[in-house]
Structure 1
């Protein structure tokens, strides 16, 4: 697994992706939608409260809405960008040509991954001026901003790596996409549902006085759910309520980083190992 900064696969994919007018048209409509949402939220809030200024507490609410919009963008667009990276090459019968070049499997996998998520990263970065409008009204610290974008990037990288892995293991793009979206829904929806069930069972089984016993399972489920993590990052009250429910003082963001960075490393490692193995089997 040789690391080489000069990655022709990455450069070729970036040129093909960003030369298309569709990419910039999509970015234009995305930014227009974000601007309409921000200004609509500001004017609606001011008209409902009957004041001519925007309060810092409402600025935090607007920032939370924008953060969850970006999270939804990452969760639902990343699988579509990465799940067909390798399987589409196999369907077009161009994968054997790619494998006969001097590029290593690591270069091919990382080049496909980075080129696939580059457009989504560009969308997130292009929304920074819209986020800057929130800072004009106060209530948001730069560290809140940095934390949100750090965990967005970690989530994007992990889901993108899963998409690349399924695209390498599965021959059909549609099946690979279904598997990636299914994994994403499990991590973002099913874990939240299981967390609620575990918390309810813990309360049901606890009939004594005082504090309930620690719920390790509930804490783990909360630690791998992106929505729960973002709620705890955006609201100190939500983080305290979560710690009170699970009775575990270990911050969930540490478990989130460990889990999703492990998924990224393992997915890329398996994709690199299985890329040429699948090619040999298909002969």
Structure 2
């Protein structure tokens, strides 16, 4: 079990990703952008506002937290496919995959090491942004439990999208094709399910006020932005639960379904990493 989590593959990948000056430069500019958004939001609601009082109220602090959370979720959904969709196909294109497969490392160890080393950079960004959220706690309006829920949704999302990227990187030989497919699936999970959910809710409401359908619930529980918004405002989830007739919490459904997708993608990736060794009949 120890070899799965602590192994040469993981150590090499971590060192290659974090020794580069570009990695730390990326974190710097990311924190600069997030900090600029936070400070700009405060200035717009105090000094540059039409109000005569320069007080930043708790409800404004909560709104700023929502803005920062959605920006970070967009970052997770944008960066994760690019970091994970080439981890195996890139090795194949560099003709180093066969060498990697001859090492004592198991398929499970290789796949998990590639996945965790890829999302480790995103985790570094998430952790580095935590001090900026102290601005939110300074003005109030947000509980620590909401912060933990938000970062938990980040973690589940990046793990699932990363697992999808690793899957297509394993079964597709070309990195560019695997990247396009992974981004396409990510776009459908976000924009596609949001559009379908909105259309389904409007259609059901137009048909009959008492009509129910599970379709809006199914599409919305796969959308990270809808689930994240539900963590702040439960009115949308309540309406979808009413229309679908399902009382099960949407956030719990999101976590369970995404973890199952992640497990399935990793399981297939592990099985497909090494080619099948079929012994021909009559062979010595």
- TM-score band, normalised by shorter chain: over 0.9
Per the alignment, residue 94 of structure 2 pairs with 92
**Structure 1: distance between partners of 2:105 and 2:223:** 36
Per the alignment, residue 226 of structure 1 pairs with 224
Per the alignment, residue 42 of structure 1 pairs with 42
Alpha-carbon distance, 1:156 to partner = 0.5
Per the alignment, residue 260 of structure 1 pairs with 258
Paired residues of 1:79 and 1:177 also in contact (CA < 8 A): yes
Per the alignment, residue 59 of structure 2 pairs with 57
SS class of match (1:108): helix
Any idea what the Cα deviations from partners look like across 1:165-195, whole Å, max 9, x if unmatched? 0000100000000010011011111111111
Any idea what the Cα deviations from partners look like across 1:173-232, whole Å, max 9, x if unmatched? 0000001001101111111111112112212322xxxx5232211111111111111111
SS class of match (2:164): helix
Confirm whether residue 271 of structure 1 aligns to residue 269 of structure 2.
yes
Per the alignment, residue 243 of structure 1 pairs with 241
Paired residues of 2:241 and 2:247 also in contact (CA < 8 A): yes
Equivalenced residue count is 276
SS class of match (2:4): coil
Any idea what the Cα deviations from partners look like across 1:107-156, whole Å, max 9, x if unmatched? 10000000001001100110000011110000000010000000110000
**Structure 1: distance between partners of 2:242 and 2:57:** 30
Confirm whether residue 128 of structure 1 aligns to residue 126 of structure 2.
no
Per the alignment, residue 212 of structure 1 pairs with 210
The answer to which of 252-261 and 234-243 deviates more is 234-243
**Structure 1: distance between partners of 2:52 and 2:97:** 62
* Structure 1 unmatched runs, 5+: none
Per the alignment, residue 67 of structure 1 pairs with 69
Per the alignment, residue 21 of structure 1 pairs with 21
Any idea what the Cα deviations from partners look like across 1:12-38, whole Å, max 9, x if unmatched? 000111100000011011111111111
Paired residues of 2:4 and 2:108 also in contact (CA < 8 A): no
Paired residues of 2:211 and 2:243 also in contact (CA < 8 A): no
**Structure 1: distance between partners of 2:86 and 2:19:** 19
* Structure 2 unmatched runs, 5+: 279-284
CA RMSD for the aligned pairs?
1.7
